[in-house]
Amino acid sequence: MSSKPDRKIAVFPGQFDPITNGHLDVIQRGRRLFDELIVAVGINPEKKELFPIDERLEMIESLLKDKPGVRVQKFTGLTVDFVRECGAVAILRGIRDVSDLRYEFQLALANRAVGGVETVFIMTGDQYALTSSSLIRQIVSLGGDVKQLVGLLPDIVVKRLQKRQKKGFDRPAPDAPST
């Protein structure tokens, strides 16, 4: 008697503000390891947002629309709770350097202890090792030339950043907390 094996689902959580080619690299390679990969877009209250969550979802969905086995979903709350709700077997995380590894290692241990959820790490491609959404947000918010980010970011993100830069970044994003 043969039975159909359980589907292996993983969650790739992040703020993705903005999504980078490094994120897309991890998604592309991660989808080969799992039957389904959920790109879980969350809000980090400790970080100032560049793009509202709905705009991030729209960009990510347009970039992944032709990728079978990948879906994009918004989430709030603890990642481990979301992972369990999805029936996922693992959290997928990208590692760029030793600093990432140290931070992600602590998170992975906490997620396993608190939620019984395993973490799978993928080393990012060499060409993306120095790319971070936080650095990109800083460059853009300080008036850096968005054209210099071509190659690090998908075209749709570069275009949206250029559009937002023309309007000005001094207004908080619509879903950002007011101070």
The residue that leads in pLDDT, 163 or 150, is 163
Q: Which of 56, 133, 137, 164 is catalytic?
A: 133
The pLDDT of 150-160, averaged and rounded, is: 87
Q: Which of 8, 47, 74, 163 is catalytic?
A: 47
167 catalytic per annotation: no
48 catalytic per annotation: no
What gap in Å lies between CA 154 and CA 24, rounded to an integer?
Answer: 9
* CATH architecture of the domain formed by 9-129: 3-Layer(aba) Sandwich (3.40)
The type of residue at 170 is D
23 catalytic per annotation: yes
Q: Which residues of 97-129 are buried (b: 16+ CB within 10 A; e: fewer)?
A: eeebeeebeeebeebeeebebebeebebbeebe
96 catalytic per annotation: yes
Per-domain boundaries in the chain: 9-129
> 172 is written with which tokens?
């908080």
For the entire predicted model, the pTM comes to 0.86
Which 8-state DSSP code applies to residue 33? T
The pLDDT of 71-99, averaged and rounded, is: 94
Q: Which of 31, 96, 137, 164 is catalytic?
A: 96
